[in-house]
Amino acid sequence: MRERAILVGLEWKTRSGGPSGSGRVRAVPVEESLDELAELAASAGAEISERLVQSRSAPEAATLIGQGKVEELAAAVKSNAVEVVIFDHDLTPTQQRNLEKAIAAKVIDRTQLILDIFASRARTREGRLQVELAQLNYLLPRLSGHGVEMSRLGGGIGTRGPGETKLETDRRRIARRIKKIADELDGVRAGRALHRRRRSAVPLATLALAGYTNAGKSTLFNRLTRSEVLVDARMFATLDPTVRPLTLPSRRRVLVSDTVGFIRNLPTTLVKAFRATLEEVTEAALVLHVVDVSSAAAAEHTTHVFKVLAEIGAAEVPQILVINKVDRLPDADADAETIQCRLLSEAGGHANTRAVSVSALTGAGIDRLLAVIDELLPLDPLVRATFHLSAGDGATLALLHEFGRVLDTRYTGADCEIEAELPESLSRRLQDRRSG
């Protein structure tokens, strides 16, 4: 059963778009931000009852919104049997507790909602650890007096993840748990680094898919690699990175990595927790930055993703701006070209970016995208060579089959001569096994 929810947003009466003295700038209009919050809430299982917006020049210290709006909110909660109120702004622990007492309903903010969605989506142990670490860091300052309210309000949205029993333990135990998870994730990070080093031992460049959540990355991933990774219209359907091979028109093989989607105001705790995952992007030879061209906020999403890529150290990685979902445009060719020019002009300072318009759903533009990938990847031409392999050298034989194309095999007793077409870099590494 879906929880009934009310969304609350604030519109600041300042020219900067943020509360006086806050230094925070609202990048988008309040209604547009609430539209995104509604998508997030629906992804978490909420049924939106209504929205409330208040214009203020400064936040109310005790409740964020003014007393009159608190009373209006309490009345709406009671008359509509609302179970959860979701604020589109970060709440302090004190504000959250005061609001819950005043309106007799569970109150969460945007950060807690995103953390809750991540908790419900994580599938691997690494993903679950990353989410738990982020949730515990977020909830630690909210423990004082919060256990009673959580017991009274029950489960549901905003309570998934570590669980009530963990939240009711003392701070020192939670701090120890945070340290333990952080240590485990350090091990995961080291393991990922080792895995990347092993991948670099073979001549396969990695392409990383990045983009705003719900931009169509998983659909594009499936189209490129002919895979069947989960495609879900809900936000953050992909949390755990997936890697698959792709053969380019030049017959070169590369690896494609699908990663977690970005979103504005992504909690800092999540960015830190998913550091090991995001490093897949920083280590890539090429980033496919996927944009949903049908979204009214496409330009803002593009700018935001560029910003996040810079923050994680991937700004200098060559990028292709993959303008996706052109099938949703009335005049796909003309509209896509116009939007492509606009998006690139608004992404000033990103000289390494090329743009290609596609529909991952229908396959339109995919051939052009593959050609541009082939063009931008570092040159590693295919060469023909013959190798003399002893009977026990199965590892080299496997390399030739996996990363090259075996053209001929001739046996001489227990040994064999293999003629293959393969990347020049791999041929050089196998120089000691070459014949002639």
299 contacts: CB under 8 Å, gap ≥ 6: 342, 343, 346
> Cα–Cα distance between 218 and 68 in angstroms, integer?
45
In 39-111, the DSSP E strands lie at 46-56, 84-87, 106-109
Q: Does the CA dihedral 323-327-329-332 come out positive or negative? A: positive
pLDDT value at residue 152: 41
Query: Residue 147: what pLDDT?
Result: 44
Count of CA atoms in the C-beta half-sphere (13 A) of 429? 13
**Numbered ranges of CATH 3.40.50.300 in the chain:** 202-376
- Residue recorded with tokens 């792709």: 246
Cα separation, 137 vs 118, whole angstroms: 14
Q: Report the alpha-carbon distance of residue 283 to residue 259 in Å, rounded.
A: 13
Strand partners, 55: 11
Low-confidence ranges of the chain (pLDDT < 70): 14-28, 144-170, 192-203, 228-241, 267, 269-270, 272-277, 332-337, 339-340, 344-352, 435-436
Which positions ≥6 away from 263 have C-beta within 8 Å? 36, 114, 212, 213, 235, 236, 304
Q: What pLDDT sits at residue 315?
A: 84
- Give the model's pLDDT for residue 295: 85
Q: What is the pLDDT of residues 119-140, one digit of tens each?
A: 887 777 777 888 888 888 887 7
- State how far the alpha carbon of 418 is from the alpha carbons of 12, 357, 393, 413, in Å: 71, 42, 12, 14
CATH 3.40.50.11060 positions along the chain are 3-119
The answer to whether 264 and 271 have CB atoms below 8 angstroms apart is: no
Give the pLDDT confidence score for residue 239 in this predicted structure. Answer: 54
pLDDT of residue 346: 65
Q: Which CATH architecture has domain 202-376?
A: 3-Layer(aba) Sandwich (3.40)
pLDDT at 425 (0 to 100): 76
- Pick the closest to residue 196 from 297, 319, 74, 280 (CA basis): 280
Topology (CATH level 3) of domain 3-119: Rossmann fold (3.40.50)
